[in-house]
Structure 1
């Protein structure tokens, strides 16, 4: 049976379109990690509030990423909860991100609010698994293919170029040590000529090239194999190091997105991704299908 979108559980999976304006992704990441560390130690918000002479409401806002964190407060909380040296270093790294401007801030005028958290988290992920049923995953797009998508939502030439630049900048993580990327792509994406035949041929050639990278696994979900397991929406899962934030699932909608961290809901989405991975063609067969697409667009 085709999977249907799962509702975001109250409190743990929030629709970004409903988040307060100005809520920074770095603050959210730090707050999530603080909450995770507190809960792992069986502590309540009231238990840790006394360590920084704060109210429970202040701790709540800090964990939700709704107020800028003060470095002294954060490190006092780390000491009070007796974080390990490894956990403390990770906490300090997240804190540094809240204090310094991130690379994507220069694109704030063309970066949708609902996408900011995903872009910020991609750098920290160990593994990214993405299923796409409409377009080539953003991390694997060529410039001209990306531009053809931007043209559908942006109007001025300046906006188009900056939004395209943003998409290209996201791909910087492919040149880093991590993350590993698995792209599960519906076969229909290969047959949908976005941008025209020349653009599609270049995109398919690039997809074939990146599929040979050690850290990139491209798998095509064929029409005849994935009909019973393909959901009608794209899913992205981010897996972090053990001392990092909890696993997160990103489900994008027309005018927003859901970020799912609730364990039960995450597990259901991971089951979807597992079924898709099982149904997908092998790496070798997937490359054959991409080669066939290249020939079609010649």
Structure 2
């Protein structure tokens, strides 16, 4: 069974790689520290191998990280040992989605662009049920997968992360689940848009024509002392977690262009209300 600690291993690996590069060290410089090989260090930094507490602590001490950074490592190691709530839904939750849920839980800011559906953090139960039912046959599996999506939204009850949702206008006009389901979903967006922690911006057809990518992008940023930012790009059979600074820059710039092209808060709410009228 693949567990939720994979996301924590990814964060640990990213943090260790950041510290190593910051100090001008090579992977071979760290191999002897953990009585391993260069390939072991490489797997550890990519989050492909379970992070052993002894190895991580030895590496952190060798690189003389600060007390604050050591506390971060200890906290991540504690998380790696915990069985997360979504592990109980492993049979209906893809590994790549479990990683994203864990990362969202640690993020300070999330920016998501969606061109096909309402972002997962803002979906209603009925809307999510319609989406999941297109890929799962068993009603039990559908219900369990929807429950994961509903529990995932608990982070919206906290002061952080701040969430910006850039939504293609076509999403508003695509009646998934029927008119009643869409009305409920769009009303839910309006309620969320009136909260301080959620910023909903609609990317219009004309305004986004030259800047909208043909795929969804989620950019996550983490608090001071935490791991560096990363980008999540989902595709039909899985997802990519992008941590390379140059690649992250490209996706961040794409989101900046989308934000500039998007309608402001008030106009976005007007477009949502207009879509509701069309369904009513």
TM-score, scaled relative to structure 1: 0.89
Deviations 1:100-155 (A, max 9, x none): 11121111111112323212211111111011111100000000000010010010
- Residue 217 of structure 2 corresponds to residue 235 of structure 1: yes
1:166 partnered with 2:132:
no
1:193 is the counterpart of 2:175: yes
Residue from 128, 132, 154 that aligns with 2:136: 154
Cα separation, 2, equivalents of 1:81 and 1:252? 34
Q: Deviations over 1:222-241 (max 9, x none)?
A: 11211111111111111112
Aligned match of 1:122: 104
Change in 2 beyond 3 A, CA 1:65/1:265: closer
Q: CA deviation at 1:45?
A: 2.1
Within 5 Å, which residues of 2 pair with 1:205-284? 205-284=187-266
Structure 2 residue 87 is matched with structure 1 residue 74 = no
Indicate the residue corresponding to 1:64 in structure 2. Answer: 46
The CA deviation at 1:36 is: 1.2
Q: Provide the rounded CA distance (Å) in 2 between the counterparts of 1:126 and 1:223.
A: 30
Q: Which residue of 2 aligns with 1:94?
A: 76
Deviation at 1:271, TM superposition (A): 1.3
Alpha-carbon contact 1:24-1:65 (below 8 Å) kept: yes
TM-fit CA distance, 1:37: 1.4
- Determine if contact 2:4/2:86 at 8 Å carries over to the other structure: no
Superposition TM-score, scaled by structure 2 size: 0.94
Kindly tell me the number of residue pairs found equivalent between the two proteins.
279
3-state SS, counterpart of residue 237 of structure 1: strand
Distance 2:102 2:18 in 1: 19
Contact 2:203-2:262 within 8 A present in 1 as well = yes
Judge which range, 65-74 or 170-179, deviates more: 65-74
CA RMSD across the alignment = 1.8
Shift of 1:21: 11
How far is the alpha carbon of 1:201 from its aligned partner?
0.7
Q: Deviations over 1:156-187 (max 9, x none)?
A: 01100000001111101101231110000011
Separation in structure 2 between the aligned mates of residue 32 and residue 116 of structure 1, nearest angstrom: 18
Q: Which runs of 5+ in 2 are unaligned?
A: none
In structure 2, what is the Cα distance between the partners aligned to 1:172 and 1:89? 25
Structure number with the bigger relative contact order (C-alpha 8 A, sep ≥ 6) is: 1
Residue aligning to 2:121: 139
